[in-house]
Structure 1
Amino acid sequence: MDRSENGALLIVEDSDEDYALALWALRQAGCARAIRRARSLTEALACLCPEHAGALGETPLLDLVLLDLNLPDGTGQELLLALRAAHGQALPVPVIVLTTSSNPRDVGEFYQLGVSGYLVKPLDRERFAAQMRVVVDYWLRTVRLPPAFLPVAPCPEQTA
């Protein structure tokens, strides 16, 4: 099954305000793809690991995950470790950490866990929108992603 230009994005973010800002910035960048949200580690695992979700429905493939580090029931690190364990040490989709932490230890740790990028969210709304334009241009318009090797489970909540 090939990834298509209609693949969805998953934002793993528990903060309603940060989610709304990311959604706004992606739309400002011209991202017309479906955007899904997971508010917790549990919801993210349900979206990304079939064994956590039960029966799979007919859903678009995910082309990109934007991941916050701190979730109400776990961490971004725990999500990445679970994904690697479920998918033979390879992440099933490019994952970009989107956080306010610029701690070099965090940056190094997450690259060791296989993330494709680590972005520190600027505090300024317009700079954040510019950052998301770069993400959209690179990951959704420029890079050719490999064929998908797993169907993605329906997320608990879907946002168009």
Structure 2
Amino acid sequence: MTVSDQLHLSTPVDVLLIEDNPGDIRLTQEAFSQSHIATSLHVVNDGIEALDFLNKRDTYEAVPRPDLVLLDLNLPRKSGAEFLEELEEEPPHLAHIPVIVLTSSQAEEDIVKSYELQANAYMTKPVDPSEFIATIKSFENFWLEIVELPPAGDGYD
């Protein structure tokens, strides 16, 4: 089922947020809660938890396959770049999940490396809370209303 189908059926779009900053998590949750799009936001705090979530390991056995991943680069234990590197080695069905980097880094080397590691987009987090929420809403508009995402499945469930 595509995101467009989900929107019409009011089936929540599953988004995995990989973020360790409580303030950014709260702002992201707030932005999604203000949306007219039914979204289920799942949060993990580092790349290790994210890989466990995607592979349904340990406490994540019953989680849904995310339609999108929002990834911070600056994470404890396993950074966003390390997560992207390992994601390339995971089963092929995970490669169909778009990964959007949402980070505070504006460093050219981080942008280039993220795209080299197959990130689908790179967005810089604004410092101002209202601008941050506006950025998330722009993300929602593009990725959840305009873009056609691959259907869930391919051995995930």
After TM superposition, the score normalised by the length of structure 1 is 0.82
Could you say if the C-alpha distance between residues 135 and 105 of structure 1 is closer, same or farther in structure 2, counting changes exceeding 3 Å? same
Aligned residue among 118, 125, 130 for 1:126: 130
1:33-112 correspondence runs (5 A) = 33-50=39-56, 53=57, 57-88=61-92, 91-112=95-116
Report Cα offsets for 1:71-91 as digits up to 9, x if no partner: 110110111111110134972
Q: Unaligned stretches of 5+ in structure 2? A: 7-11
Q: CA separation in 1, counterparts of 2:79 and 2:60? A: 25
Contact 1:12–1:38 (CA<8 Å) still a contact in 2?
A: yes
Q: Does 1:145 align with 2:149?
A: yes
Task: Please state which structure has a larger fraction of its residues in helix.
Answer: 2
Residue 67 of structure 2 aligns to a residue whose secondary structure is strand
Contact 1:13–1:39 (CA<8 Å) still a contact in 2?
A: yes
Contact 2:71–2:99 (CA<8 Å) still a contact in 1?
A: yes
Identity value in percent: 34
Contact 1:96–1:119 (CA<8 Å) still a contact in 2?
A: yes
Report Cα offsets for 1:76-121 as digits up to 9, x if no partner: 0111111110134972311111111000110011011111111101
Q: Does 1:27 align with 2:43?
A: no
Residue 138 of structure 2 aligns to a residue whose secondary structure is helix
Q: CA separation in 2, counterparts of 1:82 and 1:9? A: 19
After superposing the two structures, state which structure 1 stretch, 136-145 or 90-99, moved more.
90-99
Contact 1:61–1:151 (CA<8 Å) still a contact in 2?
A: yes
Contact 2:2–2:148 (CA<8 Å) still a contact in 1?
A: no
Q: Report what 2:13 is aligned to.
A: 7
**Relative contact order, higher structure (CA 8 A, sep 6+):** 1
